[in-house]
């Protein structure tokens, strides 16, 4: 899960992987802020976590090159280098093919009864990757080396899909000449049942939970924030551009089988159509909330009603809800700003509260606050003091009785009782000393009380922000819903 969270952060916040990539101060600051907010305080002290971070960075840049990477508690140094050897020229291809030949029992043809599926089990997959990790004499794209070697070893076609999964290597044969005969051409001439089966087996899992948010973010960043696409270009190209981004993501994630993933991109886009545009709408509204003038102008188009292009009149889509409530940039601006400002403040305050509560818990002892623990200690000490006083009185009485002892036996019994009582007193004094040593320091009590005071103060402010958030939530959802409707609509000739 840690690896997935870090990889998601990189995909969401860094520019596309390239050999020219430069790790900047703002990248450094943003990444370490994310680490502090997402993970425990001592996360960066553990070597295993540092290796996980490096693995996530290496995986992110793997399509273009290998990295030199150093990390400490507050700084990352990163440099991307090109691979020194092309996959097809690697001297390790034949060695991987030998591993395949030596482990034919681990290769299942017609996997799950389907002639177009081949399965290489976890034992074989691990043997191949164990060998890959021993390569030191050449810098080569490890995953592409495995794919190329499997493709060559199993005599597969270039369009066949090879998926390197955590527990296996999965191959799907994609006979494009056969698939082109399919009548339904929505999914690049690939049968919908085939798309459904692939989705159920390989795409419906926790690894893909952020896939469509990333799709939306990549679209907004590339076509809105970088290229400043206008409304007319947007209407003409939006669906094909989003599908292109999905296809590219799928190929980066699974394999470079473009024909298959063009079809699969269309399939999953259709199934998650609303989610994608809701994410896009939210990202647009965020830009509006920070007064992005380009984005505000883009939305003004939806209040135009009628526009004229080449002497033709068109009715533009409007920011209208199902209940026919119409929004415009002016009416929505203050609501969006208040709602998203409150949402951000709530997230920040909740993080502060959680962080301070964790510190409070660290100061607690045996489930008790430092004050409660010291009070309990004091109560125990007072009990011991009273017991010690009783013992002292008992010893005094014994000494008085000793004076009037009638014989040696009675004297010995009294002396024995005195010794036993002194031993008990010694034990009780030891317990008293232990309780004194266990008492929480005054500085820790003051720190605890200050933290509690801070949490109470932040909690009061949090409740105010939640009130603002809830007061604007319905209106914001109405605006978002209206924007989604407008984003998937086109101007109509009138």
The H or E element spanning position 77 is strand 76-81
Output the pLDDT for position 137.
Answer: 83
- Over the chain, what is the mean pLDDT? 87
pLDDT band at 175 (very low <50, low <70, confident <90, very high): low
CA proximity to 269, closest of 198, 215, 192? 215
Whole-structure pTM over 0.85, yes or no?
Answer: no
**Is residue 183 pLDDT above 50, yes or no?**
no
The answer to whether the CB of 367 falls within 8 A of the CB of 404 is no
pLDDT at 279 (0 to 100): 96
pLDDT > 50? residue 151: yes
Output the pLDDT for position 182: 47
Q: Decide which of 2 and 169 is more confident.
A: 169
Burial code (b: 16+ CB inside 10 Å, e: under 16) for 399-417 equals eeeeeeeeeeeeeeebeeb
In degrees and rounded to multiples of 5, residue 184 shows phi and psi of -75, 110
* Whether residue 233 has pLDDT greater than 90: yes
Q: What is the pLDDT of residues 348-379, one digit of tens each?
A: 999 899 889 988 988 888 788 888 877 877 77
Confidence label for 2 from pLDDT (cuts 50, 70 and 90): confident
Return the sign of the alpha-carbon dihedral for residues 181, 182, 184, 187. Answer: negative
Percent of the chain at pLDDT exceeding 90: 47
- DSSP bridge partners of 67: 80
Model pLDDT for residues 103-137, shown as the tens digit of each residue: 999 999 988 888 888 999 999 999 999 998 888 88
* Tens of pLDDT, residues 272-306: 999 999 999 999 999 999 999 999 999 999 988 88
238 pLDDT more than 80: yes
Residue 109, CA distances (Å) to 90, 112, 171 in order: 27, 9, 9
Q: Which of 98-107, 258-267, 291-300 has the lowest mean pLDDT?
A: 258-267
């Amino acid at each position: 899960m840690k690896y997935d969270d870090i990889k998601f952060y990189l995909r969401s916040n860094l520019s596309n992987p390239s050999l020219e990539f430069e790790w900047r101060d703002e990248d450094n600051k943003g990444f370490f802020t994310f680490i502090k907010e997402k993970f425990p305080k001592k996360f960066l002290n553990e070597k295993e976590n540092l290796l996980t971070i490096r693995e996530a960075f290496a995986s992110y840049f793997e399509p273009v090159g290998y990295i030199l990477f150093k990390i400490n508690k507050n700084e990352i140094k990163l440099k991307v280098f090109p691979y020194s050897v092309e996959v097809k020229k690697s001297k390790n291809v034949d060695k991987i093919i030998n591993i395949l030949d030596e482990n034919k029992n681990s290769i299942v043809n017609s996997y799950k009864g389907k002639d177009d599926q081949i399965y290489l089990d976890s034992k074989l997959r691990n043997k191949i990757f164990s060998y890959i990790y021993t390569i030191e004499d050449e810098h080569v794209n490890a995953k592409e080396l495995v794919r190329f070697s499997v493709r060559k070893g199993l005599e597969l076609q270039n369009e066949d899909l090879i998926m390197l999964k955590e527990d296996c290597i999965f191959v799907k044969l994609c006979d494009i000449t056969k698939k082109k005969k399919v009548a339904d051409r929505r999914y690049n001439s690939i049968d919908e049942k085939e798309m459904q089966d692939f989705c159920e087996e390989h795409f419906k899992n926790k690894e893909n939970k952020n896939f469509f948010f990333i799709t939306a973010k990549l679209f907004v960043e590339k076509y809105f924030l970088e290229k400043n696409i206008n409304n007319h270009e947007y209407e003409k190209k939006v669906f094909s551009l989003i599908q292109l981004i999905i296809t590219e993501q799928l190929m980066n994630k699974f394999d470079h089988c473009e024909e298959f993933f063009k079809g699969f991109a269309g399939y999953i886009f259709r199934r998650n159509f609303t989610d994608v545009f809701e994410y896009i709408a939210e990202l647009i509204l965020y830009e509006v909330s920070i007064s992005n003038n380009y984005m505000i102008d883009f939305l003004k188009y939806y209040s135009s009603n009628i526009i004229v292009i080449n002497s033709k009149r068109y009715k533009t889509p409007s920011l209208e809800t199902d209940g026919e409530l119409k929004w415009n940039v002016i009416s929505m601006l203050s609501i969006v700003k208040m709602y998203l400002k409150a949402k951000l403040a709530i997230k920040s305050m909740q993080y502060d509260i959680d962080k301070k509560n964790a510190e409070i818990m660290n100061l607690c002892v045996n489930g008790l606050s430092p004050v409660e623990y010291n009070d309990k200690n004091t109560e125990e000490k007072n009990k011991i003091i009273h017991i010690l006083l009783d013992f002292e009185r008992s010893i005094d009485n014994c000494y008085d009785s000793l004076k009037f002892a009638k014989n040696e036996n009675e004297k010995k019994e009294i002396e024995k009782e005195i010794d036993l009582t002194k031993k008990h007193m010694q034990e009780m004094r030891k317990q008293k000393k232990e309780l004194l040593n266990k008492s929480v320091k005054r500085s820790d009590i003051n720190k605890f009380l200050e933290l509690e005071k801070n949490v109470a103060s932040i909690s009061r402010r949090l409740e105010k922000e939640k009130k603002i958030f809830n007061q604007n939530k319905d209106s914001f959802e109405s605006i978002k819903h209206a924007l989604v409707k407008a984003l998937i609509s086109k101007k109509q000739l009138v």
